[in-house]
């Protein structure tokens, strides 16, 4: 019975980032060719197929930006469980495609405009993947047209990403992006609360890491096979360095499963994933006010 509870809890952890992109909505009236075009991807349950983005985590980031800034929010299913929408990998692929389309169209129409990407939770996952695509040169969007990228609770956070605020150990539950952000590394900032398990999974928590990998690879896209192989190899290499299969087996005992279920329960109750509006990153700023000011500085 305890094993079933743990599997369900891990499923919730891995599926928190699931969603289907269906469109976008403008956050406010703005000039056709702004100096800075911001594309924001909200988090789980903050939007939906028939629900435009409401006052969510990123509203404090995008509200009140300079008048020469235009903001669009990506609308998508933003579900937490597979039965609420498409599988995670496929939905994220659609999210990336929608954000890519918005930015490509705006930059093609406005030769002097630069773009910014910002995302929270599963939105940070999609925004980060697009940033990595652009920064490593495999996107149609030129990297020199991207001003900044801001990620809050990125499920694919890498220990090498430039982090703002208190140091969060570990990495995202979905595993780091192969190749990182490339040329956009110096323009990308990530914020992760130290107790947020979505972006701060312990390196030696192999059960959660495998669950995150399965969620990330669920789109079954042959074009991404090379990436899945690298990500799986990274987990296996770390596992071998920490004792191999016996270590994994020790994390699947009844006692370990009970502890994991309790830890996840405590995490959900702590609301660490949803308190970025009050989470201090130093200098009198919360995660939200810091991200707002940083983007505003590049407008």
Q: Which CATH superfamily is domain 2-297 in?
A: Alpha/Beta hydrolase fold, catalytic domain (3.40.50.1820)
For residue 136, report the phi and psi dihedrals to the nearest 5 degrees: -95, 5
- Give the burial string for 272-289 (b: 16+ CB within 10 Å, else e): bbbebeebebeeebbbbb
Q: Do residues 216 and 231 make contact, with C-beta atoms less than 8 angstroms apart? A: yes
DSSP assignment of 224-262: GHHHHHHHHHHHHHHHHHTTSHHHHHHTTSHHHHHHHHH
pLDDT of residue 83: 59
Q: Which residue has the tokens 């110096």?
A: 186
* Full-model pTM: 0.79
* Residues facing residue 48 across a β-bridge: 51
Neighbouring CB atoms inside 10 A of 169's CB total 11
pLDDT of residue 220: 62
Token pair in block for residue 215: 């969620």
Q: Do residues 148 and 120 make contact, with C-beta atoms less than 8 angstroms apart? A: no
Token pair in block for residue 199: 């972006």
Neighbouring CB atoms inside 10 A of 142's CB total 11
Q: Do residues 291 and 61 make contact, with C-beta atoms less than 8 angstroms apart? A: yes
Q: Do residues 68 and 154 make contact, with C-beta atoms less than 8 angstroms apart? A: no
pLDDT of residue 36: 98
Per-residue pLDDT of the chain (299 residues; tens, 9 = 90+): 433 333 333 344 444 433 333 344 444 454 589 999 999 998 877 777 777 766 689 999 999 999 899 999 988 776 666 656 667 777 777 788 889 999 999 999 999 999 999 999 989 999 999 999 999 999 999 999 999 999 999 999 999 999 999 999 998 988 889 889 999 999 999 999 999 988 998 776 766 665 666 566 666 667 666 666 766 667 666 657 767 777 667 666 777 677 766 766 676 676 778 899 999 999 999 999 999 999 999 98
């Amino acid at each position: 019975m305890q094993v079933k509870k743990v599997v369900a809890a891990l499923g919730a952890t891995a599926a928190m980032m699931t969603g289907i992109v269906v469109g976008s909505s403008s956050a406010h009236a703005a000039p056709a060719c702004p100096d800075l075009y911001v594309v924001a991807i909200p988090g789980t349950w903050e939007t939906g197929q028939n629900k435009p983005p409401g006052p969510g985590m990123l509203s404090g980031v995008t509200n009140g930006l300079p008048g020469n800034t235009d903001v669009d929010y990506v609308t998508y299913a933003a579900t937490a469980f597979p039965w609420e929408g498409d599988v995670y990998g496929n939905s994220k692929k659609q999210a990336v495609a929608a954000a890519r389309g918005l930015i490509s169209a705006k930059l093609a129409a406005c030769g002097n405009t630069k773009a910014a990407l910002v995302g929270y939770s599963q939105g940070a996952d999609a925004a980060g993947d697009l940033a990595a695509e652009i920064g490593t040169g495999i996107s149609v969007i030129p990297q020199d047209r991207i001003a900044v990228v801001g990620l809050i609770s990125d499920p694919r956070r890498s220990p090498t990403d430039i982090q703002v605020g208190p140091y969060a150990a570990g990495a995202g539950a979905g595993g780091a992006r192969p190749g990182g952000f490339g040329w956009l590394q110096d323009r990308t900032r990530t914020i992760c609360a130290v107790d947020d398990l979505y972006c701060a999974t312990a390196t030696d928590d192999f059960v959660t890491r495998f669950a995150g990998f399965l969620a990330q690879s669920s789109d079954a896209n042959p074009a991404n096979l090379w990436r899945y192989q690298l990500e799986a190899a990274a987990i296996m290499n770390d596992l071998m360095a920490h004792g191999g299969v016996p270590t994994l087996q020790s994390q699947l005992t009844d006692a370990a499963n009970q502890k994991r279920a309790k830890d996840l329960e405590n995490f959900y109750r702590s609301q660490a994933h949803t308190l970025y509006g009050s989470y201090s990153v130093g200098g009198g700023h919360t995660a939200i006010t810091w991200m707002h000011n940083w983007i505003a500085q590049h407008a």
